[in-house]
Amino acid sequence: MSRNPAAAFALPSAAGTRRQGIALFFCALVGFACYDAFCKWMLREIPAPLMNLTRYISVSTIALAWLLQAGDLRLWRTPCKGRLFVRGLMLGIVATCFMGALVTMPLAEATAIYFTAPLMMVALSPALLGESVGRAQWGAVLAGFAGMLLIVRPGGDLPWFGTMLMVVSAVCYAMFQLLTRQLAGHVSGAVMYAWTALVCLLLTGIPALLMLPGTLPAWPVLLLMMAGGACSGAAQLLLLAAFRRVAASTLAPLNYFQLLLAVLISTFVFRRPPDGIALAGIGLIMLSGGYLAWRGRPMSSSKPSHA
C-alpha cells in the first residue's frame, strides 16, 4: 500500500475500472445486508454486547494485518488523533445502538431508519463543514424525514426504545461520515481503519465483558460469530476498493440497494414485511437519498460496519 495519505481515496486508478468498482460495491452491500440478517438471527439467543465484541475482535485482526502490510504500526504518531478517536467513538455508538435495536425491531424498518444518516449529514453540513444547502436539497431532507415518521408513526407497533436507538445510530453515523470527509487525504486508509476498529473494540468490549452470560456459547457458535465479523470487515475492504475505482458520486445512489435487500430479507426470511405505510416511508427515504446523491450533495463515501 502506498504511504501517501490520500492513496486510499484515489479516484480512479489505472488498474481499476468503473465496472469492477460497481461490482465490488454491490458485493460489499450484499455482505453488509447478510451480516445484518445474520445478527438479527443470532440475537434470538446471543446477547448483543457479545455479538459486537466478536465482530470487532475479527475486524481488529483484519486492521492489524492491513497495518502490517502497510509497514507502519505507530498509531500513536498519527496526525489528527483526536478526530480519529471521536470518529471511532461515533462508530462504536452506532454499533452498540444498532445491535441493541435489532433485538426487538424488524430488520427492514431498522435499516430504513439507519439510512436517514445521509440526510442528517446534509442537514448538519452547513453548521459543521460550512457548506451551503439549497432549497431543493432541504426539501429532499425534509421528505426523507417524513418517510422516517411514516415508519415510526404514532400508533405503530415499533418498540419506542429500539426506534430511539436506531435514531441515535443514524445521527452518530452522520457524524462519523462528516469526520471521514474531514480526515480524507490527511490519514491513510489503513490507519483510519485501524483506529476505528480499536476504538470500537474498546467501546463494545467493556459492556460485553461486564455483561457476559453465565454460560458462553459453544466454541462452534463463537467461531461462527467471529466468521460473521470477519465477513463484515471484509465487506468494508471491498467498499474501500470500490471507491478507489469509481467516484463517490456514481456509487452513492446505489447504497439504497442494501435497504431493498433488507426489505426482502425481512419479508422472506424473518416473515416481517413492512406494512403499506412503512413501505411508503422507506420509498421516500430511498428517493430522497438517491436525489441528494444524484445532485452531488455530501453523502456517505463508505459504509463502515455498524455495525
Q: Would you kindly state where each structural domain of the chain is located, as residue ranges?
A: 7-294
CA-CA distance, 97 to 100, in Å (whole number)? Answer: 5
Can you tell me the distance from the alpha carbon of 93 to that of 176, in angstroms, rounded to the nearest whole number?
Answer: 10
Specify the 3-state DSSP secondary structure of 7.
helix
At 12, the pLDDT band (50, 70, 90 cuts) reads very low
Cell numbers representing residue 27 in the block: 458485493
The 3-state DSSP class for residue 187 equals strand
Distance CA 297, CA 118 (A): 9
Instruction: Count Cβ atoms below 10 Å from residue 192 Cβ, excluding itself.
Output: 27
Confidence band for 211, pLDDT divided at 50, 70 and 90? confident
Residues 27-35, mean pLDDT to the nearest whole number: 96
Q: pLDDT category, 1, cuts 50, 70, 90? A: very low
Q: pLDDT averaged over the chain?
A: 86
**Of 279 and 73, more confident:** 279
**So what's the pLDDT on residue 186?**
85
pLDDT at res. 155: 67
Q: What is the pLDDT of residue 296?
A: 60
Burial tier of 128 (Cβ tally within 10 Å: 0-12, 13-18, 19+): middle
Residue 250 above 80 pLDDT? Answer: no
* pLDDT reported for residue 230: 96
Average pLDDT over residues 69-85: 83
pLDDT at site 300: 45
Average the pLDDT over 259-270 and give the result: 96
Q: Please return the burial class of 26, using the count of CB atoms within 10 Å of its CB with bins 0-12, 13-18 and 19+.
A: middle
Q: What are phi and psi of 127, to 5 degrees?
A: -75, -35
- What is the Cα–Cα distance from 8 to 6, expressed in whole angstroms? 6
Farthest CA pair distance, the chain: 56
Q: Tell me: pLDDT of 257 over 90.
A: yes
Average pLDDT over residues 55-83: 87
Q: What is the DSSP letter of 184?
A: B
Cα-only R_g, the chain = 19
| pLDDT tens column, 120-176 | 888 888 887 777 888 888 999 999 999 999 999 876 789 999 999 999 999 999 999
Scanning the structure block, which residue is given the C-alpha cell 470500490?
242
